[in-house]
């Protein structure tokens, strides 16, 4: 299927609004619980999404358009949010995510990416050559992988409360997957 940038942008616009609607008014039970030591809470996920806006998507897209394969992307620090999220509330992070995502999308529009640009290449530190189209599709899929993680870690809080229904709830059978970008 042909990749269309407009579909990516449509999803990227919705994610901050959806996370805000889901999380903003929930008690800490849902938003600060995780799946055990070393795993993330909803709070951590929103912090991670903010960090990725600053460090990953637009910086890498800019590097592809300006330098092609001659420069290698900086590796992305998956735990980079910890320092920046400290002392903030979840509503603050949700507002910040909406703001930085809005700014990223403005920058993306200003790049005026044409269909022909989607095959332009950059260099990933692990994968080697990757295209601008792959990077932009990954930006949207990365939102979804964290929505997937979020629904799983929230459901995990009810793994005992649901009693025998656990066998029918697919999300409780999900063993979790590492995720980075």
Verify binding: residue 127, a second copy, rule CB under 8 A: yes
Verify binding: residue 107, a second copy, rule CB under 8 A: no
Verify binding: residue 144, a second copy, rule CB under 8 A: yes
Smallest gap from Cβ 82 to a second copy, in A, equals 20
Verify binding: residue 111, a second copy, rule CB under 8 A: no
Smallest gap from Cβ 74 to a second copy, in A, equals 16
Among 82, 115, 119, 165, binds a second copy (CB under 8 A): 165
Q: Measured between alpha carbons, how far is 160 from 168 in angstroms, rounded to an integer? A: 13
Verify binding: residue 79, a second copy, rule CB under 8 A: no
Return the half-sphere exposure (C-beta side, CA atoms, 13 A cut-off) of residue 7: 8
Region binding a second copy by CB under 8 A among candidate stretches 16-24, 49-57, 93-101, 106-114: 16-24
Region binding a second copy by CB under 8 A among candidate stretches 46-54, 66-74, 108-116, 152-160: 152-160
Region binding a second copy by CB under 8 A among candidate stretches 39-47, 60-68, 99-107, 140-148: 140-148
Q: Measured between alpha carbons, how far is 15 from 42 in angstroms, rounded to an integer? A: 14
Q: Would you tell me which residues interact with a second copy (CB under 8 A)?
A: 1, 3-4, 6-7, 10-11, 13-15, 17-23, 25-27, 29-30, 124, 127, 130-131, 133-135, 137-138, 140-142, 144-145, 147-152, 154-155, 157-158, 160-165, 168-174, 176-181
């Amino acid at each position: 299927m042909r990749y269309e940038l407009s579909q990516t942008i449509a999803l990227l616009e919705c994610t901050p609004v959806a996370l805000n609607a889901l999380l903003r008014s929930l008690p800490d039970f849902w938003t600060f619980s995780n799946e055990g030591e070393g795993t993330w809470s909803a709070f951590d996920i929103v912090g991670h999404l903010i960090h990725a806006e600053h460090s990953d998507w637009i910086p890498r897209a800019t590097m592809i358009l300006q330098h092609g394969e001659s420069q290698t992307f900086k590796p992305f620090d998956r735990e980079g949010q910890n320092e920046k999220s400290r002392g903030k509330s979840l509503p603050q992070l949700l507002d910040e995510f909406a703001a930085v995502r809005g700014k990223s999308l403005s920058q993306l529009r200003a790049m005026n990416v044409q269909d022909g640009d989607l095959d332009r290449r950059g260099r990933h530190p692990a994968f080697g050559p990757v295209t601008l189209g792959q990077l932009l599709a990954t930006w949207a899929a990365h939102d979804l992988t964290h929505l997937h993680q979020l629904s799983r870690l929230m459901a995990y809080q009810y793994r005992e409360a649901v009693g025998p229904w656990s066998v029918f709830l697919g999300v409780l059978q999900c063993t979790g997957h590492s995720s980075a970008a």
